Structure 1
């Protein structure tokens, strides 16, 4: 069977690229038992789908960085030179403007130079020989005061970054759940294979003795034929069990990866010797309240809802008239001709501007859209809360049922083993036939397989329940 697995792994490596078998060994050369913790660590470290989710977080971090760029200082430079014409002059203006998150306040400072001849209506462009320095503030009094696009983008992108992080947690839980289910299916398949191997070994161990007894005339020939029939039947069951283990190992390899991200097919020698003992399920009530606080899907939708609320706040503010206050002080430096001495004193200028699109269709339309997005997310949150509750109750019910099945399967296995041993003693005393012995042995093997199926279902249900509660399996 191990040879089959090795051949299958080699074929996969040739056909599909970097797939390898697990060969972890301890210092003495014995293979390490593969644990669920190792599988989950491999998922968290190198699973491609998880890496894709993390790239979305990096993309959201880039959006947040771009939003912070809305508060970068802005440098503006303008120059103009007219050497020929009615008024030969030159102009140069440089301004540095800094937006702030404080009520939309912007501060700015600049320097301009205007030399030459200017028309009477353009004398404000003229400066002293050293130019004019200025500093001022611009403050929105209504629209753009409580919130503006820059500050909304800061909040929305920060919430988007956190929502992307919650999406990584969602994907990780999904992958860990799938990995845990695949791991327990692999363990169950390996232990069922061991049951079939033991069943075949019983028939093969009897075969040589039966052949001698038939040849000596002490046992009817039909008993030897019955044993050989049982051997062939059990070999067929063994082949099917080997195939099931190979299939389970390949399914687990989708989640088990090395440090480089290549799939690792676990070998049969890394199977644990038995399932862990299944404890009884905890009460459901505490898990339900815990799940609503832990599930990353709910956290993601809550963050998206908060982002939609920011857009509603912005859209409502944009319905207000835009009233901006601008004030600055300026001072010319250097020398001027006597007729332009009025340029030298410092000046203070304050102004106000009002702007209001009368139909407000853009603002009203954006507010309607923002409210619709918020209502949609509210509905999704209610639905997901119900889904979480149903998933948790279903997983808890499955766990309770699986635990009961394990108890019943173990009782059935004890009875089947007792019948098997009793039938074997009757056969040794000549009171039974090998047909009945084989039937009892097969019934005991079936009971062992049912116990393993129940244990597999139990541990998979336990993983489902922990994931439904927002915890790693």
Structure 2
């Protein structure tokens, strides 16, 4: 606090009594002419920017939020797994007595083509034996087939696996929005903790200075009472003031310790170990600079476009649109066309003739067509309607969210403007109260006032000073609330 908070404490002294204790009074005058609560020489200012930088870099919640994108990438990898090539093999053999009933071996490789729903197939089929179904029987060396499986019905343009992959990619945007939301929430909570620490520190400074002033005044009054210049009861009044302010200082000290503890929750080291705030670390001064309307309007415009909540809703809406597109496709008939070219494999015990073996031609082929169509489509139509209802819910939720965000930003702006006006009034009130204290001290020196009035004026000045620091703290919190409501990170942090 500035040294003019209480001013110089002068005692009324005339004649011989003053000369007897003049040296003591001069010492008191000298002490009270300087700031009573001087900042320790070994203190270090821990700025808000440094604090928020440590939170962003080392806080576990912030680091956890960074894992959201990694988790979303694993979802994309899982969705890509539906397009992994698959190899399969099937063997079925039966012998009874001395007869080989059948020996069936099927192997194949299926390779999905990602841009479309086509599967490329390469396989080997061998079915021999005395009682093999003639329609599946193959030459002794088996057949090689090369073909494709093409959905020409509901899955021609979109299917479940392509939908899942696209939704997983949109999930990356959802994860990024969730990361920003969690980081902003952590920084907002950290900002409140920092400025509450500032308030507790400044309140302790003010209360402690008031206590020391009262203690000095009590010592001076006691000296005057000893020489008979003032009544002994005046020392009692001075002592009561000391005791009252001592209780206030003890409470302020507890509040400061608790504020340090709450702030230490956000402090972590690079080795994932919590860090306790040292006692020699003090907060920076609160700068109450008004925010321009242009900045507020830019924040409002950005909030309605890239607020994390809106980005999350946009990602969910896009995912739901993909789901609706899939459900519309599932209403169509399910038609799958498969076509394969066949070729006999060579007999290794005989000669090797390329003209006879592996000669794929249209003459040797296999074609399949599957058609499935539910008659009532109740399941498909019900699921489509459910997805459409969800889309309407997301649209309505987004409209309400935009409105809420706008109101939150404007409410934070209004609170800032009001607090800025209150700050100016409170600063003038402190200045005026300081003048009143100084005038009361002058009247006390002239014998026109009492110790009670001086203490009362001084207590009121301390009270107004604490109120001023509360308003400064609220103003800083309002700034943090404004950026949080807009879904943006304060660039000054």
Does the 8 A contact of 1:128 with 1:334 survive in 2?
no
Are 1:360 and 2:377 matched, yes or no?
yes
CA distance in 1, matches of 2:404, 2:468: 31
CA distance in 2, matches of 1:444, 1:149: 72
Are 1:303 and 2:320 matched, yes or no?
no
Moved over 6 A (4+): 341-345
Paired residue for 1:155?
Answer: 166
CA distance in 1, matches of 2:381, 2:487: 40
Does the 8 A contact of 2:173 with 2:311 survive in 1?
no
CA distance in 2, matches of 1:358, 1:379: 34
2:459 aligned to which of 426, 442, 449: 442
CA distance in 2, matches of 1:197, 1:148: 73
Query: What does residue range 228-377 of structure 1 map to in structure 2 within 5 Å?
Result: 228-272=239-283, 274-283=285-294, 284-335=296-347, 346=360, 347-377=364-394
Are 1:91 and 2:112 matched, yes or no?
no
Are 1:453 and 2:470 matched, yes or no?
yes
Does the 8 A contact of 2:124 with 2:144 survive in 1?
yes
Are 1:378 and 2:405 matched, yes or no?
no
Stretch moving more, 77-86 or 449-458 = 77-86
Paired residue for 1:71?
Answer: 83
Does the 8 A contact of 1:96 with 1:110 survive in 2?
yes
CA distance in 2, matches of 1:133, 1:397: 77
Stretch moving more, 447-456 or 55-64 = 55-64
Does the 8 A contact of 2:108 with 2:124 survive in 1?
yes
Change (3 A) 1:56 1:394: same
* Cα displacement (A) at 1:353: 2.5
Stretch moving more, 408-417 or 277-286 = 277-286
Paired residue for 1:15?
Answer: none
What is the TM-score of this pair, normalised by structure 1?
A: 0.86
Stretch moving more, 33-42 or 143-152 = 33-42
Does the 8 A contact of 1:75 with 1:96 survive in 2?
yes
Tell me the alpha carbon deviations over residues 59-83 of structure 1, each in whole angstroms, 9 at most, x when there is no partner.
4333222111000111110112234
SS in 2 for 1:371: helix
Number of equivalent positions:
440
What is the TM-score of this pair, normalised by structure 2?
A: 0.83
Unaligned runs of 5+ in 1: 1-28
* Cα displacement (A) at 1:429: 2.0
Unaligned runs of 5+ in 2: 1-40
Does the 8 A contact of 1:281 with 1:396 survive in 2?
no
CA distance in 1, matches of 2:466, 2:357: 101
Does the 8 A contact of 1:80 with 1:92 survive in 2?
yes
Does the 8 A contact of 1:46 with 1:257 survive in 2?
yes
Tell me the alpha carbon deviations over residues 412-451 of structure 1, each in whole angstroms, 9 at most, x when there is no partner.
0110111111111221222211111111111111121111
Of Structure 1 and Structure 2, which has the larger fraction of its residues in helix?
1
Paired residue for 1:62?
Answer: 74
Are 1:404 and 2:415 matched, yes or no?
no
Paired residue for 2:148?
Answer: 137
Does the 8 A contact of 1:163 with 1:299 survive in 2?
yes
CA distance in 2, matches of 1:371, 1:391: 30
Query: What does residue range 31-50 of structure 1 map to in structure 2 within 5 Å?
Result: 31-50=43-62
* Cα displacement (A) at 1:280: 4.0
SS in 2 for 1:376: helix
Paired residue for 1:164?
Answer: 175
CA distance in 1, matches of 2:358, 2:481: 80
* Cα displacement (A) at 1:30: 4.2
CA distance in 1, matches of 2:312, 2:217: 63
SS in 2 for 1:114: strand
Change (3 A) 1:225 1:253: same
Larger radius of gyration: 2
